[in-house]
Structure 1
Amino acid sequence: MAYYRQVGEVPPKRHIQFRDPEGRLRYEELMGEEGFSSDSALLYHRGVPSAIVASEVWELPDQTTTPNHPLKPRHLRLHDVETTGDAVTGRCLVLGNSDVRIGYVVTGTDPSALYRNATGDECVYVESGSGTVETVFGVVPYRTGDYVVIPRATTHRWVPSESSRLYAIESNSHIAPPKRYLSRYGQLLEHAPYSERDLHGPTSPHLEEGTDVEVLVKHRAGGRVLGSRMTYATHPFDVVGWDGCLYPYTFNVEDYMPITGKIHQPPPVHQVFEGHRFVVCNFLPRKVDYHPLSVPVPYYHSNVDSDEVMFYVGGDYEARKGSGIGLGSISLHPGGYAHGPQPSAIEASLGVEFFEESAVMVDTFAPLDLGEAALACEDPAYAWTWAGRSLGQGREDGGADPAVFSNS
């Protein structure tokens, strides 16, 4: 995020001696993306940030995935998923591919372990709840409706103040605002649906002391996602100050300004972030199309290069009426399948001036496989609802059995 901040104590020049009042040298760490050619921050530690005393295997939660085969749209009821544990170790894998993984957890109020994702940035949507995320950069408060964006390899800990439903988008790349909303120097432009004023990062250092401190690290090796438990000689939260353009921040959906038009606008106008080979959009309460013959719900579309994942988090989603989808639902519409509104929703939307709906969408450019959480909470009748069939059981081969379904 190319938006400069300074927090705590830093020396007047980079890479010069910086000592505490007792004359002890601070240890400077450059945390940078893409080698030395992209955004970075300089952090000043009390202890040596490289000093580890042990490294052991951390067995990750189940990362097994199953292909979406036979191909069909799917409805997942995330509120039916039983999760246990904290905001890190309690995550259940919902969907994933080689570019992005989507997980879900319902926390208690216990803090998570210290954690660092070395595979890529994380963008965690807070479906409900509040608390703080303690990081090497300082503390970031979170609340319902926040996206919590945590740069790759940031050591942090989730501290819920109440039970929190967290929808974790874990990238294998970096996550940033869409390039079309940025100037060539990185400033959000006038036509962007949000500005730097809406991004909330740490405001002061968060210091803790300790020795032999464990940090759970997620990383890649041999094409797989693996976990290690690294023990540091001193506490990672020993940063007295930092500056730069790389740091965690929150952005709340209430601060997003929806873009509307005379006729139906395509999903890119709802985009909020992008990563490598995926995008994140949010569909929020808004005025809708004002052409006298407009059709406010989406037209049927075949995104031939994309899988579309919609997470329904508020309101009443107009295009999905009659499909069984409600709050906490996910719809997965895969590439190779034309999707759109339920037929009855098209007529029902005519003349509507305002949509009261909230959803988070992830579009990927590689097929998504199903994780353990998806297999545990799927609605088996969803795929057949466009055909006007009643709810029931499909054939074992994944088809709709005319003997079971009746026209409605």
Structure 2
Amino acid sequence: MAELKYISGFGNECASEDPRCPGSLPKGQNNPQICPYNLYAEQLSGSAFTCPRNTNKRSWLYRILPSVSHKPFASIDQGHINHNWDEVGPDPNQLRWKPFEIPKACQKKVDFVSGLHTLCGAGDIRSNNGLAVHIFLCNSSMENRCFYNSDGDFLIVPQKGKLLIYTEFGKMFLQPNEICVIQRGMRFSVDVFEETRGYILEVYGVHFELPDLGPIGANGLANPRDFLIPVAWYEDRQVPGGFTVINKYQGKLFASKQDVSPFNVVAWHGNYTPYKYNLENFMVINAVAFDHADPSIFTVLTAKSLRPGVAIADFVIFPPRWGVADKTFRPPYYHRNCMSEFMGLIKGHYEAKQGGFLPGGGSLHSAMTPHGPDADCFEKASKAKLEPERIADGTMAFMFESSLSLAVTKWGLKTCGCLDEDYYKCWEPLQAHFTPTSRSPTEPK
């Protein structure tokens, strides 16, 4: 595969043109009257026109044919995409899933769109408030098919297999331990090279942004320069039989046909683009004296709500790092939280779970449902010698955290076949160690 080129930076005003057509970017949106190379000018807006300048999201695309050149949309098979949060009754229990099974190509070809499965979510698409968590399980590339989401942004977290993503802005190559964000309305297609699995966080009505750093200062966590935006690339291709454009609109799937590839953008400029990020570039902040800091110190991206400091969704990672705090319990503490926490594992072994939480699986701890280290982890951590140690080497766990109370779909609770019915048993061996006559087990009675 030829090396793909990128532009560095998060949320920047950028410009790019395919080197095959030098000078394809006009000076101004549509100046002169006819664009260079006789291209069409088209604006893609990711925010209201009148948003303040620092939150206004839009890009101009200069393309061979405008995206309006298609046949009418018609409803298609909905597959496993589901935004009906009342499909089954609520379940406040701690939930854990074994690795989600990828269909075998020899049995049935499944591409990225047909392999989307909604696991849980909350809110309302029509009012632009909420989120959904999807799992993608696929074994085949999208052939003369593309997808775009009218409902929200997709944050894609691959766990197994590599993705080559074609977008209107250019191509991105994505592999495990990298993420990408395809923002609302952007058309894309996914090639895969083997059985492929991953997680998606979808947010409605807001966009992901870098968290404020506060007392951390100017630098730290995910740095803007490490985010990569694809360089313009186009294909001028007629498609016999038609190219299928699939749209997710109000939670339902629709399809239309057009005669040409939608990836016909020769040049673009703006600040509303897809982007990717390598999780290895995250600058970890951690406790160096005592205590266990809140997981918010590991936030890569946030999608803010209207309440200050409260997110519709945060994307949080738990990367390799040093543990040096003393006089403290180092693993995550036992916890009840007003937030909902969905966790996934890209690779390795998560420190607070000795077994059962596996790459390609997940867990959900709903609002105010208690959770924390299993019994084995607690016993080992309570007796461990507190000296500097490496934590999570070869591991990458992540969390989708939300202020919304998430509902699990029927597929997640009943039909996926991966729900771990014995998850609660990992805490059953916990025993009371209360010593009412001495403050410490080492003190005389």
Q: TM-score, normalising length from structure 2?
A: 0.78
Contact 2:158 2:346 in 1 (8 A): no
Q: Percent identity at matched positions?
A: 21
Which whole-Å CA distance do the structure 2 matches of 1:35 and 1:301 have between them?
39
Q: Root-mean-square deviation (CA), in Å?
A: 2.4
Letter in structure 1 aligned against 2:262: P
Does residue 326 of structure 2 align to residue 292 of structure 1? yes
TM-aligned CA deviation for residue 181 of structure 1: 4.1
Identify which of 29, 39, 42 aligns with 2:42: 29
Which whole-Å CA distance do the structure 1 matches of 2:277 and 2:182 have between them?
12
Does residue 265 of structure 2 align to residue 239 of structure 1? yes
- Call closer, same or farther: CA 1:12–1:21 in 2, change over 3 Å: closer
Unaligned segments of structure 1, at least 5 residues: 183-187, 390-408
Does residue 391 of structure 2 align to residue 355 of structure 1? yes
1:299-338: per-residue Cα shift (whole Å, max 9, x none)? 112112x11111122222121125x322223111111212
TM-aligned CA deviation for residue 45 of structure 1: 1.5
Cross-structure match for 1:192 = 220
Which whole-Å CA distance do the structure 2 matches of 1:118 and 1:87 have between them?
17
Cross-structure match for 1:253 = 279
Does residue 110 of structure 2 align to residue 85 of structure 1? yes
Identify which of 361, 366, 370 aligns with 2:408: 370
Does residue 366 of structure 2 align to residue 334 of structure 1? yes
Cross-structure match for 1:44 = 62
Which whole-Å CA distance do the structure 2 matches of 1:67 and 1:258 have between them?
39
Aligned residues: 375
- Call closer, same or farther: CA 1:115–1:31 in 2, change over 3 Å: same
Contact 2:349 2:358 in 1 (8 A): yes
Which whole-Å CA distance do the structure 1 matches of 2:66 and 2:96 have between them?
48
- Call closer, same or farther: CA 1:229–1:154 in 2, change over 3 Å: same
1:182-227: per-residue Cα shift (whole Å, max 9, x none)? 9xxxxx973331223311211232223226432000011xxxx111
Contact 2:29 2:41 in 1 (8 A): no
Contact 2:153 2:181 in 1 (8 A): yes
Cross-structure match for 1:395 = none
Letter in structure 2 aligned against 1:216: I
Which whole-Å CA distance do the structure 2 matches of 1:164 and 1:329 have between them?
13
TM-aligned CA deviation for residue 259 of structure 1: 1.2
- Call closer, same or farther: CA 1:208–1:159 in 2, change over 3 Å: farther
TM-aligned CA deviation for residue 364 of structure 1: 1.6
- Secondary structure of the corresponding residue to residue 102 of structure 1: strand
Which whole-Å CA distance do the structure 2 matches of 1:189 and 1:50 have between them?
45
Cross-structure match for 1:398 = none
Contact 1:309 1:332 in 2 (8 A): yes
- Call closer, same or farther: CA 1:153–1:70 in 2, change over 3 Å: closer
Q: How does 1:54-73 map to 2 (within 5 A)?
A: 54-62=72-80, 63=82, 66-67=87-88, 69-73=90-94
1:47-71: per-residue Cα shift (whole Å, max 9, x none)? 1322232221122223255556442
Contact 2:147 2:246 in 1 (8 A): yes
Unaligned segments of structure 2, at least 5 residues: 1-9, 18-23, 124-129, 306-311, 431-445
Contact 1:307 1:365 in 2 (8 A): yes
Which whole-Å CA distance do the structure 2 matches of 1:134 and 1:272 have between them?
24
- Secondary structure of the corresponding residue to residue 6 of structure 1: strand
Cross-structure match for 1:185 = none
- Call closer, same or farther: CA 1:14–1:69 in 2, change over 3 Å: closer
Which whole-Å CA distance do the structure 2 matches of 1:145 and 1:383 have between them?
29
TM-aligned CA deviation for residue 238 of structure 1: 1.6
Q: How does 1:251-290 map to 2 (within 5 A)?
A: 251-262=277-288, 263-275=291-303, 276=305, 277-288=312-323, 290=324
- Secondary structure of the corresponding residue to residue 53 of structure 1: coil
Which whole-Å CA distance do the structure 1 matches of 2:97 and 2:66 have between them?
46
Which whole-Å CA distance do the structure 2 matches of 1:35 and 1:388 have between them?
54
TM-aligned CA deviation for residue 20 of structure 1: 6.1
Cross-structure match for 1:76 = 97
- Secondary structure of the corresponding residue to residue 254 of structure 1: helix
Which whole-Å CA distance do the structure 1 matches of 2:301 and 2:161 have between them?
22
TM-aligned CA deviation for residue 291 of structure 1: 3.1
Letter in structure 2 aligned against 1:47: L
Contact 1:131 1:162 in 2 (8 A): no
Cross-structure match for 1:219 = 249
- Secondary structure of the corresponding residue to residue 73 of structure 2: strand
Identify which of 421, 424, 427 aligns with 1:380: 421
Cross-structure match for 1:301 = 335
Which whole-Å CA distance do the structure 2 matches of 1:341 and 1:242 have between them?
49
TM-aligned CA deviation for residue 270 of structure 1: 0.7
Identify which of 310, 314, 318 aligns with 2:347: 314
Letter in structure 1 aligned against 2:398: V
TM-aligned CA deviation for residue 234 of structure 1: 4.2
Letter in structure 1 aligned against 2:163: G
Contact 1:68 1:368 in 2 (8 A): no
1:232-290: per-residue Cα shift (whole Å, max 9, x none)? 354322211001111111111111122111231211001111225111101111112x2
Letter in structure 2 aligned against 1:134: Y
Contact 1:96 1:102 in 2 (8 A): yes
- Call closer, same or farther: CA 1:47–1:32 in 2, change over 3 Å: same
Q: TM-score, normalising length from structure 1?
A: 0.85
Letter in structure 2 aligned against 1:93: T
